[in-house]
């Protein structure tokens, strides 16, 4: 994923929106889910969306912090300022990634610009110290994602982690997909996934959804600058590239395109 500002480009590999979140439509027809999303790794990428809870990294099932080994020195925090662009691997939350970088640099302050879902890999911009004041400028920049959509299923999370809620035997042709993409280009209204970090009455939407509550999220404006069908390796999968602004969920793009196509 490529994050750009007016005067500079951050080109690591981080991924959307969006960094993870979802919502259900009333359309009973088609389904689609994101299999894997990533930012092109240019050596140098979601947004949206402030992040997921950090995964537990100790061995205590209750999540309690492990006690420091006797005699182990306490590491003093330092005033570290600047940006690190981390090539975040699949399986790591953005919050956990920040914690790891902060610990490695012994930094007093750190935060990430945008969110990559655990299933996304790519460049995650992490700011430390005084650089955290410039996070809003990076957040306002464009992000670029490459993602694969699996046709034939819709899941409650809009990605492969969720529970299948609808199925379809229809498979779209490359022509049908390409003809539809202009409807999802420019300024559009998008309903975020119900499994997202958006707050509803002070609670994260994904926490409410995991507790079995029905999450009603309102559509909100997002901007898709470019959306391209890159490859169709087989009838059940399509690879896309999207360049978009903040707040965009590529999982929601997959969901909405699949519903219109009936697959």
Q: What is the per-residue pLDDT for 117?
A: 86
- Cα–Cα distance measured from residue 254 to residue 251, given in angstroms and rounded to the nearest whole number: 5
- Computed over every residue of the chain, the mean pLDDT equals 78
- Cα–Cα distance measured from residue 70 to residue 106, given in angstroms and rounded to the nearest whole number: 20
Alpha-carbon torsion, ordered 59, 62, 63, 68, to 10 deg: -60
Burial class (CB in 10 A: 0-12, 13-18, 19+), 201: exposed
Under 8 Å between Cβ of 23 and 192: yes
Burial class (CB in 10 A: 0-12, 13-18, 19+), 58: exposed
127-169 pLDDT per residue, tens: 999 999 999 998 888 999 999 999 999 999 999 889 999 999 9
Under 8 Å between Cβ of 227 and 144: no
Under 8 Å between Cβ of 33 and 153: yes
Instruction: For residue 121, list its beta bridge partners.
Output: 38
Only one residue has tokens 């955290």, namely: 132
Positive or negative, the CA dihedral 200, 203, 208, 210 is: positive
Give which of 164, 177, 123, 126 is closest to 146, Cα–Cα. 123
- Cα–Cα distance measured from residue 55 to residue 143, given in angstroms and rounded to the nearest whole number: 25
Q: What is the per-residue pLDDT for 71?
A: 65
Specify whether 117 is catalytic. Answer: yes
94-109 pLDDT per residue, tens: 999 999 999 999 999 9
pTM above 0.75, yes or no: no
Q: What is the per-residue pLDDT for 11?
A: 35
Positions in the chain whose pLDDT score sits under 50: 1-30, 40-66
Q: Catalytic pick from 117, 156, 158, 256? A: 117
């Amino acid at each position: 994923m490529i994050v750009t500002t007016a005067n500079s480009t951050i080109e690591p590999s981080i991924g959307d929106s969006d960094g993870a979140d979802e919502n259900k439509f009333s359309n009973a027809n088609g389904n689609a889910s994101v299999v894997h999303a990533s930012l092109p790794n240019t050596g140098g990428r979601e947004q949206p969306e402030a992040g997921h809870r950090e995964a537990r990294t100790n061995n205590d099932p209750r999540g309690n912090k492990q006690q420091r080994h006797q005699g182990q020195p306490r590491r003093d925090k330092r005033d570290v300022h600047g940006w690190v662009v981390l090539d975040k691997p699949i399986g790591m939350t953005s919050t956990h990634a920040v914690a790891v970088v902060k610990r490695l640099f012994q930094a007093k302050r750190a935060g990430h610009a945008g969110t990559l879902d655990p299933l996304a890999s790519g460049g995650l911009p992490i700011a430390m110290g005084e650089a955290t004041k410039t996070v809003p400028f990076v957040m306002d920049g464009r992000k670029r994602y490459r993602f694969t959509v699996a046709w034939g299923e819709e899941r409650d999370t809009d990605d492969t982690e969720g529970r299948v809620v609808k199925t379809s035997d229809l498979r779209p042709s490359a022509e049908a997909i390409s003809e539809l993409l202009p409807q999802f280009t420019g300024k559009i209204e998008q309903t975020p996934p119900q499994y997202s970090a958006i707050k509803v009455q002070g609670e994260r939407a994904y926490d409410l959804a995991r507790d079995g509550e029905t999450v009603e999220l309102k559509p909100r404006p997002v901007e898709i600058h470019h959306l391209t069908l890159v490859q169709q390796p087989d009838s059940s999968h399509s690879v896309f590239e999207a360049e978009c602004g903040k707040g965009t969920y590529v999982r929601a793009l997959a969901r909405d395109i699949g519903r219109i196509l009936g697959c």
